[in-house]
Chain A
Amino acid sequence: MAEVLVYVDHVDGAVRKPTLELLTLARRIGEPVAVALGNGAADTAATLAEHGAVKVLTHDAAEYADYLVVPKVDALQAAYGAVSPAAVLVPSSAEGKEIAARLALRIGSGIITDAVDLEAGDEGPVATQSVFAASYSTKSRVSKGTPVITVKPNSAAVEAAPAAGAVEALSVTFSEKATGTKVTGRTPRESTGRPELTEAAIVVSGGRGVNGAENFAIIEALADSLGAAVGASRAAVDAGWYPHTNQVGQTGKSVSPQLYIASGISGAIQHRAGMQTSKTIVAVNKDAEAPIFELVDYGVVGDLFDVVPQLTEEIKARKG
């Protein structure tokens, strides 16, 4: 059976959920061979093996942390050379897309970004994409070279599928260009204790209607009652009420949770672009004409300062 290269997104050895989803998709096409780079690379092996990796290629070097993107492209290309895979799958983060694109160019292949589903096809893997702010769904294929495809978080279920997961050291020679862009400083994001926005099963978002940074406590309380991540519209972010890392939409994060709750958000096309593929959508807005209501499974026309705290209390009461 053909091998499929899977690029591993991990933080110091802790594998992030979208990579496990990639393993599920990779198994539809062939045998997953994982590539883990940087600090803690070898620590990823056990988790990757549990989810279907037949092999885990690892390599660590200071270059991965000290220089932008290119060292990782060099390593992925080395893995590609070692394995000759049927496809290369990469998680659709900003960095993942850049790595995938440069690899595709180097190996003379086409690239598809932001797939939301992947199936095996007669002429290679078929990717489903959601385009024009999710108003269209497309099926596409790479027609030249080895398909390089990046996949969005929450595109498949994480499945246990124990495999050998044999760790092999990858041999990497960095290119001359690897050290072109130096990382001179790094401030890790502070953990909020809440789930990662793109990975969360439930997202609770607030917009301009929240009307102030301090009022976001109402949104956070609802999120915490549901174990959810917190999102924000660009209007709320631009006003300085919530960090940009939490922005949902075209220029923020694209989310696809089981449940999305929008409060005080009108539902502009750029916001919809980042949340329209959510399974269940709920909104609270005092304007019955707000476009967000066109998307909802359940909507409450009302003041969020009344509705949201009542909802939070009720959830807490029901959960006991």
Chain B
Amino acid sequence: MSLRIVVTVKYVPDATGDRHFADDLTVDRDDVDGLLSELDEYAVEQALQIAEEADDAEVTVLTVGPEDAKDALRKALSMGADKAIHVEDDDLHGTDAIGTSLVLAKAVEKAGYDLVISGMASTDGVMGVVPALLAERLGVPQVTLLSEVSVEDGTVKGRRDGDAASEQLEASLPAVVSVTDQSGEARYPSFKGIMAAKKKPVESWDLSDLDLDAEEVGLEGAYTVVDAADERPARTAGTIVKDEGEGGKQLAEFLAGQKFI
């Protein structure tokens, strides 16, 4: 029996570019360069490794996002995923984490899955809650924030490095997994991979395909409201000195003046 892996990937504004808010206080996704969230590359990588270990496996990448989010899917396909699903609908604009998890859950169920793999957090929202929400909605075990993961005989095992301890976790499939950036470098797409990706199937689903109503998602369906978003005032320029042999002492003088010593 084939192991069906669905990887959830997000298309995000480039963190090294200028990120801002649109007039309706949602993240501006139109006027900025976007890309596959780097933290989701780790999820694609682990999915591919698990698939390579399994006798028979299929890796589907799934994104919920605007038209341009296809770029994120292409990148994942060129890394080696088999097929892609793009959930796209104008009514999705402004969907929050609760809503995103609803759409993802419906899509994952429609696609069919044994294992869902997510990134540890999206690089724009950085909430790190969608995988837990997805597990709650699907009613399957949550095996999240793994820095090491393996699947064998219908069981997923992994290591979660927490604040107080490092834990070994285990759950039966189906399950939702998320992996951290400690799980292993993500591969670069090869030229062959990039060419092959062009021929791989990308399905497009809208809300009606998922039996969802517009009111359940988008800004209207959101459970949270942003009332204000203000650019943080630039930090006032500090004092910069060149070390001419006394730099450490000068710094100590500054710290003493600020009462840190």
Question: Does A315 lie within 8 Å of B252, measured CB to CB?
Answer: yes
Interface mask (A62-105 → B, CB under 8 Å = 1, otherwise 0):
00000011100100000000000000000001110110111011
Q: Which residue of the partner chain B has the closest CB to A145?
A: B223
Evaluate whether A139 and B228 lie within 8 angstroms (CB atoms) in the complex, with A182-B169, A318-B256 already known: yes
Question: Does B247 lie within 8 Å of A134, measured CB to CB?
Answer: no
Evaluate whether A181 and B228 lie within 8 angstroms (CB atoms) in the complex, with A95-B162, A259-B255, A309-B248 already known: no
Question: Does A189 lie within 8 Å of B164, measured CB to CB?
Answer: yes
B142 on the A face (CB < 8 A): yes
Question: Does B127 lie within 8 Å of A113, measured CB to CB?
Answer: yes
Evaluate whether A250 and B251 lie within 8 angstroms (CB atoms) in the complex, with A269-B16, A296-B238 already known: no
Question: Does B254 lie within 8 Å of A306, measured CB to CB?
Answer: no
Of A113, A114, A135, A273, the contact of B232 (CB 8 Å cutoff): A135
B1 on the A face (CB < 8 A): no
**B interface secondary structure, majority:** mixed
A147 to B142, CA, bound (A): 23
A273 to B142, CA, bound (A): 27
Question: Does A101 lie within 8 Å of B133, measured CB to CB?
Answer: yes
A202 on the B face (CB < 8 A): yes
Question: Does A307 lie within 8 Å of B248, measured CB to CB?
Answer: yes
Question: Does B251 lie within 8 Å of A112, measured CB to CB?
Answer: no
Evaluate whether A182 and B123 lie within 8 angstroms (CB atoms) in the complex, with A95-B162, A104-B98, A306-B243 already known: no
Q: Which residue of the partner chain A has the closest CB to B21?
A: A136
Interface mask (B161-175 → A, CB under 8 Å = 1, otherwise 0):
111111111111001
A47 on the B face (CB < 8 A): no
Which positions 132-181 of chain B face chain A at CB distance < 8 Å? 132-133, 135-137, 139-145, 147, 157, 160-172, 175, 180-181
A106 on the B face (CB < 8 A): yes
Of B143, B165, B240, the contact of A293 (CB 8 Å cutoff): B240
Separation in Å of the A301 CB from the closest CB of chain B? Answer: 5
Interface mask (A272-290 → B, CB under 8 Å = 1, otherwise 0):
0100000011101000100
Question: Does B248 lie within 8 Å of A143, measured CB to CB?
Answer: no
B222 on the A face (CB < 8 A): yes
Separation in Å of the B34 CB from the closest CB of chain A? Answer: 14
A293 to B145, CA, bound (A): 33
Interface mask (B247-261 → A, CB under 8 Å = 1, otherwise 0):
111111011101011
Interface mask (B216-256 → A, CB under 8 Å = 1, otherwise 0):
00000011111111111001001111110111111110111
Evaluate whether A306 and B248 lie within 8 angstroms (CB atoms) in the complex, with A69-B132, A136-B231, A301-B242 already known: yes
Q: Which residue of the partner chain B has the closest CB to A11?
A: B164
Separation in Å of the B6 CB from the closest CB of chain A? Answer: 18
B129 on the A face (CB < 8 A): yes
* A residues in contact with B167, CB < 8 Å: 68, 183, 185-187
Which positions 8-31 of chain B face chain A at CB distance < 8 Å? 15-16, 19-21, 25
A89 to B96, CA, bound (A): 19
Of B120, B142, B226, B230, the contact of A68 (CB 8 Å cutoff): B142
Question: Does B224 lie within 8 Å of A184, measured CB to CB?
Answer: no
Q: Which residue of the partner chain B has the closest CB to A309?
A: B248
Question: Does A186 lie within 8 Å of B166, measured CB to CB?
Answer: yes
Interface mask (A243-263 → B, CB under 8 Å = 1, otherwise 0):
011000011000000110000
Question: Does A181 lie within 8 Å of B143, measured CB to CB?
Answer: yes
A222 to B260, CA, bound (A): 13
B190 on the A face (CB < 8 A): no
Of A134, A281, A310, the contact of B248 (CB 8 Å cutoff): A310
Evaluate whether A98 and B248 lie within 8 angstroms (CB atoms) in the complex, with A70-B142, A180-B141 already known: no
A73 to B141, CA, bound (A): 13
Evaluate whether A298 and B251 lie within 8 angstroms (CB atoms) in the complex, with A109-B223, A181-B142, A183-B169 already known: yes
Evaluate whether A98 and B129 lie within 8 angstroms (CB atoms) in the complex, with A68-B169, A185-B167, A296-B238 already known: yes
* B residues in contact with A183, CB < 8 Å: 167-169
Question: Does A314 lie within 8 Å of B248, measured CB to CB?
Answer: yes
Of A141, A295, A299, A314, the contact of B224 (CB 8 Å cutoff): A141
Question: Does A282 lie within 8 Å of B251, measured CB to CB?
Answer: yes
Separation in Å of the A60 CB from the closest CB of chain B? Answer: 17
B85 on the A face (CB < 8 A): no
Of A114, A139, A202, A258, the contact of B126 (CB 8 Å cutoff): A114
A311 to B180, CA, bound (A): 36
Which positions 108-162 of chain A face chain B at CB distance < 8 Å? 109-114, 126, 130-145
Q: Which residues of B are at the interface with A, using a C-beta cutoff of 8 A? A: 15-16, 19-21, 25, 39, 96-98, 101, 120-121, 123-124, 126-129, 132-133, 135-137, 139-145, 147, 157, 160-172, 175, 180-182, 222-232, 235, 238-243, 245-252, 254-256, 258, 260-261
Q: Which residues of A are at the interface with B, using a C-beta cutoff of 8 A? A: 11, 68-70, 73, 93-95, 97-98, 100-102, 104-106, 109-114, 126, 130-145, 177, 180-189, 202, 226, 244-245, 250-251, 258-259, 269-270, 273, 280-282, 284, 288, 293-303, 306-315, 318-319
A sample of 28 inter-chain contacts (CB < 8 A) reads A68-B167, A94-B145, A101-B97, A111-B129, A111-B223, A134-B232, A135-B19, A136-B20, A138-B230, A140-B226, A140-B227, A181-B170, A202-B260, A245-B161, A258-B260, A269-B16, A270-B15, A282-B251, A282-B255, A288-B240, A296-B238, A296-B240, A297-B254, A298-B240, A306-B247, A310-B246, A310-B247, A313-B248
